[in-house]
Amino acid sequence: MVGLRFTEKHVLGGLIALLVLTAPAALALPKYRLQAITQFHLDDGSGLAALDRRVMSCSYCHVKESGGAPWNPFGEAIRATFKANAEAGGKAKFPEILSILLKSEQDADGDTYPDALEVWAKTLPGDAESKPTEPLETVQAEFEAAGGVGQFGPQETEKK
């Protein structure tokens, strides 16, 4: 190709094919959802769980599927935990707040199944209509045998 003439347009156009055009993900993947998916062990390791709203939709914590205000009872419990932590001078981040909340044995939606138990049973802790079908004592025993609330502790995050 030595000897060929290059016009600006040809050179620039040719480079299109050579440069790696990596479009940033134009998907809304709120970081709290991604952190919760990891912390609740809902990621099967494929990396696709983050993209699959069936794994954890926004209504896990929010009233609307699009997120934002208002929040369901579990979302409100998270917010209240953040506020209480800050008022006490704490600087806990989302994973720690989730852990604090689940350890508190609250039942945000009032369906008699504590939030941690519902997380483990994969029912919705912010929706009283969603709850395990087994009796509370049975589920509680299975949950404790499976490691209890300790399995939902904060996960290590990559340093930015």
Partner 1 sequence: MPLDRRDFLKYSALAVAATSGMPGFLARAATQATGQKTLVVIQLTGGNDGLNTLIPYSNGAYYAARPTIAIPKKDVLTLGPDLGMHPSLKPLMGLWDAGQLAWMENIGYPNPNRSHFASMAIWHTADPTQAQAEGWIGRIAEKIGDPFCASNIGSSTPQALRAAEFSLPSIDAVDNFQVKLPAGLEGAFGAMLDAPRSGEADYLVRATRQMMSNTQKVQANVGKYKAGATYPEGKFATQLKDAARLIASGTGQRILYVSLGGFDTHAGQRGEQDELLATLASGLAAFQTDLERQGVAERVVVMGFSEFGRRVAENDSAGTDHGQGSVMFALGKGVKGGIHGDSPDLEDLSLGDIKYKQDFRGVYAGALTGWLGLNARDILGGDFKGPQWLA
Q: Give the interface with partner 1 as residue ranges (CB under 8 A).
A: 1-4, 6-9, 11-16, 18-26, 31-32, 78-80, 82-83, 85-87, 90-94, 96-97, 158-160
d(CA 84, CA 90) in angstroms, rounded, equals 8
d(CA 160, CA 61) in angstroms, rounded, equals 26
CA 99 to centroid of chain Cα atoms: 13
| Shortest distance (Å) from residue 3 CB to partner 1 | 4
Provide the angle, in degrees to the nearest 10, between the axes of the packed helices 31-39 and 94-103: 50
By C-beta, is 30 or 147 nearer to partner 1?
A: 30
By C-beta, is 15 or 145 nearer to partner 1?
A: 15
| Shortest distance (Å) from residue 100 CB to partner 1 | 11
By C-beta, is 75 or 132 nearer to partner 1?
A: 75
| Shortest distance (Å) from residue 6 CB to partner 1 | 5
CA 86 to centroid of chain Cα atoms: 21
| Shortest distance (Å) from residue 92 CB to partner 1 | 6
d(CA 61, CA 72) in angstroms, rounded, equals 6
By C-beta, is 96 or 142 nearer to partner 1?
A: 96
Residue with tokens 């709850």: 131
